[in-house]
């Protein structure tokens, strides 16, 4: 999908307004407006919905490591939900640093910065609904409350401790209550540098931070 950027929103209310305007539309309607075709399935187009929404809302960052709405400091996340508004998938946050992170703190961590302010766009996307018929839901502009921030911090610190102490290969998706670390790579043969059990550098699978469904569920149900 090749899309030239639309006009970026100048204010938060302008962004919300745009998001409200596309709520209730299906992906066929959005694709027509954008001038792209709808894929049969998302197997080879896993980021398609997200990129389509970025276009409609005028996100500017592209593949740069900055918020989608840089000027507003807002990150855009589409989230697949079932008919009851419950999340169907975990939510990718950012890459998990595996080296050079011994002095990092939660307050300045990429995870916290990414999640500081997020515009969530639910998409009714049960697997048996054809991509073309999936519906856009109402937007939720969210920032973590103190309890959520503390919960994420606890998981983040547990996970980062393991990375720093050379236990990256002992981390599984079960580690962490709300924040987890899972592979984030083209395939399982991809390697990056990490810290081994004796403090040496090792080759290991690149990982990313993800929000578990039990966390995003809270956000979606807080409306």
Partner DNA sequence: GCATGATCATTA
Partner DNA sequence: TAATGATCATGC
Binding site for DNA (CB under 7 A): 2, 41-47, 49-51, 53-54, 61, 63-65, 68, 75-80, 89-90, 92, 94-95, 123, 125, 127, 172-174, 180, 182-193, 205-206, 208, 212-214
| Cα-to-chain-centroid distance, residue 123 | 14
Closest to DNA by CB, 69 or 153: 69
Closest to DNA by CB, 37 or 41: 41
Give least dist CB 130 to DNA, A.
Answer: 11
Which residues share a beta bridge with 211?
Answer: 91, 179
Q: Is 70 left (phi over 0), alpha (psi -120 to 50) or beta?
A: alpha
Strand, coil or helix: 92: strand
b/e per residue 154-193 (b: at least 16 CB within 10 A):
ebbeebbebbbebebeebeeebbebbbbbebeeeeeeebe
Closest to DNA by CB, 95 or 146: 95
Give least dist CB 44 to DNA, A.
Answer: 4
Give least dist CB 101 to DNA, A.
Answer: 11
Closest to DNA by CB, 50 or 144: 50
Euclidean distance between CA atoms 31 and 11, whole angstroms: 25
Give least dist CB 146 to DNA, A.
Answer: 25
């Amino acid at each position: 999908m090749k899309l030239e950027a639309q006009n970026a929103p100048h204010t938060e209310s302008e962004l919300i307004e745009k998001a409200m305007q596309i709520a209730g539309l299906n992906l066929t309607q959005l694709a027509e407006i954008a001038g792209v075709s709808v894929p049969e399935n998302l197997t080879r187009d896993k980021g398609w919905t997200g990129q389509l929404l970025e276009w409609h809302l005028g996100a500017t960052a592209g593949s740069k490591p900055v918020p989608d709405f840089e000027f507003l400091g807002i990150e855009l996340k589409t989230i697949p939900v079932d008919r009851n508004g419950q999340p169907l998938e975990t939510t990718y946050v950012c890459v998990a640093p595996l080296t050079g992170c011994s002095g990092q703190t939660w307050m300045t961590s990429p995870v916290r910065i990414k999640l500081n302010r997020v515009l969530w766009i639910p998409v009714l996307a049960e697997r048996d609904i054809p991509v073309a018929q999936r519906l856009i839901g109402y937007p939720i502009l969210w920032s973590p409350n103190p309890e959520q921030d503390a919960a994420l911090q606890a998981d983040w610190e547990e996970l980062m401790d393991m990375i720093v102490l050379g236990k990256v290969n002992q981390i599984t998706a079960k580690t962490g209550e709300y924040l987890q670390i899972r592979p984030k790579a083209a395939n399982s043969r991809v390697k990056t540098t990490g810290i081994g059990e004796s403090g040496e550098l090792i080759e290991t699978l690149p990982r990313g931070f993800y929000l578990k469904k039990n966390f995003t569920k809270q956000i979606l149900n807080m409306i």
